[in-house]
């Protein structure tokens, strides 16, 4: 990492191409340029991590405190939830639900921004990196950031005594995967757009209901049949289930495996489409 010690303040990071780690000559053989992309993003991250951590940690903690503990205090009967109290139900669920929401958001404005307004990704392409590698790096990078934020949140859950299984250390990884399962298809879509028209509609009319009906706040079985199936097909609910099982230590191996497979299928599909739209966008 030739420029890891950068002391540039947030926001004034120069365009990628001007950075030495991307100059064609310095990439050692045997290491892919994808790796360099991630390495580079990481070096930038050291100066821009605060907002990500803040939103990645504060948002789920707020839901835990207000809905989990605040509203939870009004709930006496938790028999349908499978947990002793409501906070133990919501806390782990919100981990995956917020990851989904943030993965989706990162797939919208920041993606189009890097591709269009800021030109960051155009600059990357003047290096040996291909558009496919760029799409891969973009999605992996979102997953990484959400995993970091989620780890802190799981730590907070532990402080509240809501973690009852050592398997909980795997939960942030699942949250990162949930983020990618949304970020991949959404980025693919954003890359095909010329303006952010409709982005706020997607956020409000698709992300919000998927978030609320993800099973994080109440079991999807309480939903009308049609809505519950929408929740079952989209990846958020699968992530909510797996995270809850990992943190509460009540693993259901077969079902959890299926959940993970569904999430991976969404990542893969999204990635396949994203390679195409990224390529089309950047070759035009």
Partner 1 sequence: MIALRQAARLPESATRFPARHVFERNVLSYRRLWLVFVAGFIEPVFYLLGLGVGLGQLVGQVEVDGMSVEYAAYVAPGLIASSAMNAAVFDSTFNFFYKLKYAKTFDAMLVTPLRLGDVVSGEVAWSMTRSGIYAAIFLGIATILGLVESWWALLTIPAALLIGIAFSAVGTALTSFMRSWHDFDYIQLGLQPLFLASTTFFPLSVYPGWAEPLVQATPLYHGVTLCRNLAFGAQGWGDLWHVGYFVAMAALGVAFTKGRLRTLLMD
Residue ranges binding partner 1 (CB under 8 A): 10-11, 51, 54-55, 58-59, 62-63, 65-67, 70-71, 73-78, 80-81, 86, 198, 200-201, 204-205, 208-209, 212-213, 217-218, 222-223
The Cα 215–Cα 93 span in angstroms is 7
**Smaller CB separation from partner 1, 36 or 145:** 145
Residue 274 CB, shortest distance to partner 1, in Å, is 24
Give whichever of 221 and 283 is closer to partner 1, judged by the CB atom.
221
Under 8 Å between Cβ of 280 and 194: no
- How far apart CA 230 and CA 242 sit, in angstroms, is 18
* Cβ proximity to partner 1, 109 vs 144, nearer residue: 109
How many of the other CB atoms lie within 10 Å of CB of 54? Answer: 11
Q: Which is nearer to partner 1, 22 or 63 (CB)?
A: 63
> In terms of CB distance, is 78 or 132 closer to partner 1?
78
The answer to whether the CB of 210 falls within 8 A of the CB of 229 is: no
Min CB(229)–partner 1 separation in Å: 16
Least distance between partner 1 and beta carbon 272 (Å): 29
Tokens 């803040």: give the residue: 54
Rank residues 217 and 271 by Cβ distance to partner 1 and give the closer one: 217
Question: Cα separation of 65 and 82, whole Å?
Answer: 20
Task: Give the integer Cα–Cα distance in Å for 219 and 161.
Answer: 22
Residue-wise DSSP of 125-155: TTSS--HHHHHHHHHHHHHHHHHHHHHHHHH
* Closest of 178, 177, 158, 176 to residue 168, by C-alpha: 158
Whether residue 255 contacts residue 244, with contact meaning beta carbons closer than 8 Å, is answered with: no
Q: Which long-range contacts (CB under 8 A, 24 or more apart) does 79-82 make?
A: 80/219, 80/221, 80/222, 81/218, 81/219, 82/250
Q: How far is the CB of 253 from partner 1 (least distance, A)?
A: 28
Query: In whole angstroms, how close is the CB of 161 to partner 1 at the nearest point?
Result: 18
Q: State the nearest-atom distance from the C-beta of 213 to partner 1, in Å.
A: 6
Nearer to partner 1, 42 or 109 (CB): 109
**Spatial separation of the C-alpha atoms in residues 176 and 170, rounded to whole Å:** 10
Shortest distance, position 51 Cβ to partner 1, whole Å:
6
């Amino acid at each position: 990492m030739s420029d890891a010690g950068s002391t540039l303040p947030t926001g004034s990071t120069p365009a990628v191409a001007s950075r030495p780690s991307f100059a064609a000559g310095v990439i050692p053989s045997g290491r892919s340029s994808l790796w360099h992309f991630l390495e580079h993003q990481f070096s930038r991250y050291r100066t821009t991590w605060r907002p990500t951590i803040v939103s990645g940690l504060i948002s789920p903690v707020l839901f835990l405190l207000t809905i989990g503990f605040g509203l939870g205090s009004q709930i006496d009967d938790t028999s349908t939830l499978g947990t002793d109290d409501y906070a133990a139900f919501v806390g782990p669920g919100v981990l995956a639900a917020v990851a989904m929401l943030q993965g989706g958001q990162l797939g919208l404005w920041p993606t189009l921004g890097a591709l269009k307004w800021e030109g960051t990704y155009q600059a990357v392409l003047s290096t040996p990196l291909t558009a496919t590698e760029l799409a891969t790096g973009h999605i992996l990078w979102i997953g990484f950031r959400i995993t970091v934020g989620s780890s802190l949140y799981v730590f907070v859950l532990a402080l509240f005594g809501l973690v009852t299984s050592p398997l909980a250390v795997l939960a942030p990884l699942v949250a990162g995967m949930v983020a990618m399962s949304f970020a991949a298809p959404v980025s693919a879509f954003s890359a095909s757009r010329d303006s952010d028209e409709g982005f706020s509609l997607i956020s409000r009319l698709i992300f919000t209901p998927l978030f609320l009906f993800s099973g994080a706040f109440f079991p999807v079985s309480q939903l009308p049949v049609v809505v519950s199936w929408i929740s079952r097909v989209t990846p958020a609910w699968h992530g909510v289930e797996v995270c809850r099982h990992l943190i509460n230590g009540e693993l259901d191996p077969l079902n959890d495996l299926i959940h993970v497979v569904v999430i991976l299928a969404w990542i893969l599909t999204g990635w396949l489409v994203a390679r195409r739209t990224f390529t089309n966008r950047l070759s035009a």
